[in-house]
Amino acid sequence: MSESVVVITGASSGIGAALARHLARTQTRLVLVARRKDALEEVAKACSWDPMVIAADVTRREEARRVVQESLARFGRVDVWVNNVGRGISRPPSQLTDEDVDDMIRVNVKSALYGMQEILPHFKSRGAGHVINISSMLGRIPFVATRSAYNGI
């Protein structure tokens, strides 16, 4: 990954933050993306290289587009796009509302879709690039009934 440009969405905590800290030990140029700028800045402080921090809600297409544009403006290219935004709801299926289901689709599906759609033209023009979609084991083996909305998405 040396000298690669990697965009990590959902980088303010969990897997995204851990990936940022891991890649920061190399010469990877990082773009850390999440809604919470203060949390992103804390992750950035733990990185040995000075990552670019972009506060954005990538569940909105225009925000995903802005992340691509700002990343390209700073580094001239993106080599890897990591879709890591996600959340779960812990309630029995009988208690899920329409808003719950809509939110799960917006966060867990649309954020990844928008990221891929916005970065792919750049990857195609370069003839290179990688998209990494982070998912949960619960999406493959739905063994927790109270996470059914997450399992189904």
> Going from the N-terminus, what domains does the chain have, and what CATH number goes with each?
5-152 (3.40.50.720)
Query: Would you place residue 23 in the very low, low, confident or very high pLDDT band (cuts 50, 70, 90)?
Result: very high
Could you tell me what percent of the chain has a pLDDT over 70? 88
**pLDDT tens-place string over residues 112-129:** 999 999 999 999 999 999
**For residue 104, is pLDDT > 70?**
yes
What sign does the CA torsion over 3, 5, 6, 12 have?
Answer: positive
Q: Which residue has the tokens 């493959």?
A: 140
Please, which residues bridge with residue 6 across strands? 30, 80
The C-alpha atoms of residue 81 and residue 95 are separated, in whole angstroms, by 35
Query: Would you place residue 17 in the very low, low, confident or very high pLDDT band (cuts 50, 70, 90)?
Result: very high
Average pLDDT, the chain: 90
Query: What's the whole-model pTM score?
Result: 0.90
Query: Would you place residue 140 in the very low, low, confident or very high pLDDT band (cuts 50, 70, 90)?
Result: low
Mean pLDDT, range 56-72, rounded to an integer:
98
Please, which residues bridge with residue 40 across strands? none
Mean pLDDT, range 83-110, rounded to an integer:
89
Residue 149 has a pLDDT of 63
Query: 3-state DSSP call for residue 29?
Result: strand
